[in-house]
């Protein structure tokens, strides 16, 4: 069974790094760069895991996460949120909206791989 991840990120270097490490581990990686249409993208074909950047063009990752959690179809979708800022306020807001896991950039490739696999396996619940 194919493992599917949707990466909503607008930074090309991060997209390539995450695509490389996850596809090497057998993941099918789809990417999306626009925050304004991210919810529709998720709903059209819900992935096994969503990797979501905080700062996106169109809408923030927080707004996207809030909308996904409010929808019964995606309320339990495992979400790994990435942020360049990493401020405690961002982490708290992500937790309020129901993020599964929160990671600061720059991150270790192994950390992303381990976290995505753990989320897919159900080993990590919401923080």
CB 70 within 8 A of CB 106: no
| Residue written as token pair 């949120």 | 81
**Whole-number pLDDT of residue 1:** 73
The two three-digit tokens of residue 125, written as one number: 């619940």
Whether the per-residue pLDDT at 127 is higher than 60: the answer is no
Greater pLDDT, 124 or 119: 119
Other beta carbons within 10 angstroms of residue 59's beta carbon come to 17
pLDDT digits (tens, 9 = 90+) for 16-57: 999 999 999 999 999 999 999 999 999 999 999 999 999 999
Q: Domains in the chain, please, with CATH?
A: 3-120 (3.40.50.2300)
CB 95 within 8 A of CB 54: no
């Amino acid at each position: 069974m194919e493992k599917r991840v949707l990466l909503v990120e607008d930074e090309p270097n991060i997209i390539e790094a995450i695509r490389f490490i996850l596809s090497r581990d057998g993941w099918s990686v789809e990417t999306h760069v626009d925050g304004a249409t991210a919810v529709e993208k998720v709903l059209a074909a819900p992935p096994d895991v969503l990797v979501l950047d905080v700062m996106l063009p169109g809408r923030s990752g927080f707004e996207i996460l809030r909308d996904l959690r409010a929808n019964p179809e995606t309320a339990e979708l495992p979400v790994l949120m990435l942020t360049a800022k990493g401020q405690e306020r961002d982490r708290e807001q992500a937790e309020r909206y129901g993020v599964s896991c929160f990671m600061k950039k720059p991150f270790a490739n192994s950390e992303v791989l381990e976290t995505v696999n753990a989320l897919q396996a159900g080993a990590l619940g919401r923080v």
